[in-house]
Amino acid sequence: MLGYLPSAWLLLALPFVSAAVIATAAPLSRIAAVYHRVTWPVGLIGLVALFAALLGLLSPALSLPVAISGGAVSGFAMFGIRHDRNDDDDWRRRGRPPDDTPPDPVEHGPIDWELFDRLRAGWAAPRVPER
């Protein structure tokens, strides 16, 4: 039992090592973000395969290769997509963007077009570098 225990601990650490490698390698983290619907279930299947091999549910000839390959891909199960539910500006999940409506004249007062033209003339003026 003592000879088997250290290798089991190494195999149990494999998902965390895999997740660290995925987080630090830019191509792997990009794959985890873009193909999340595929990589997350693959990571879960890898975790199940790893624990099935560690618990002895597989034949002894297949246990080590399945545990190593399952542990290597199980790091993908630790990445998720961040959802900001409180962000009202994110319209992508709801369809088309909202139309920009002019401000309410009752709430903000009438629009001062003369002030706008004066400010626009100042913005459009060429800037001379200072010496």
Residue 62 in domain: yes
Q: Are 50 and 18 in contact (CB under 8 A)?
A: no
Q: Return the half-sphere exposure (C-beta side, CA atoms, 13 A cut-off) of residue 98.
A: 7
Q: Residue 84's pLDDT is what?
A: 53
Spans in the chain with pLDDT lower than 50: 1-2
Q: Residue 45's pLDDT is what?
A: 94
Residue 55 in domain: yes
Q: Which domain holds residue 18?
A: 7-78
Total tally of structural domains belonging to the chain: 1
Q: Residue 73's pLDDT is what?
A: 92
Residue 47 in domain: yes
DSSP one-letter code for 100: -
